[in-house]
Homo-oligomer: A and B are copies of this chain.
Amino acid sequence: MKLTSKGRYAVMALVDLAKFNDINPVSLRDISLRQGISLDYLEQIFSKLRKKAIVQSVRGNQGGYVLNKKANEIKLTNIFDAVDEKVKTVRCKKESKKGCNGKPTKCLTHNLWDELENHINDFFEKKSLEDLIKDNIERRI
């Protein structure tokens, strides 16, 4: 049960973006340097974030990225969803007619994994980018 670095990076980069977002857009190059994430990889990640309208891009010289919503409107769920970081506790959901384990019934623990999934998603649903930034400032004091 582990988080992929794509998901982690997406969140890190957005916190960085929100933090340094003043008048000018923030360039991926700067984020790359500050957070130690490869520029190429960041581009992949931001392409997805843009498609899901979480950020907006500003092209050309002195361009970069800007948040497309207020920080308190961006939940972790939205971020993870954008970069395809999904919470998959079970395999056995898609086989339409069969249950899990190839049998007509649901597996003994099917309900458990659903609960777990909800439990984790709750966490993601409650945390917004703003929370993270606040947390970050407090910590520094």
Interface of A toward B, CB cutoff 8 Å: 1-5, 7-8, 11-12, 15-16, 19, 35-37, 80, 85-91, 101-103, 107-109, 111-113, 115-116, 119-120, 123, 127, 132, 135-136, 139
Contacts and interface: CB of A to CB of B under 8 A. Distances in A.
Contacts of A123: 115-116, 119
- How many copies make up the complex? 2
Given A1-B4, A108-B132, 15 more contacts: A1-B7, A1-B85, A3-B88, A3-B89, A3-B113, A3-B116, A5-B91, A11-B109, A11-B112, A15-B108, A19-B108, A35-B107, A35-B108, A112-B127, A119-B120
A54 to B, nearest CB: 16
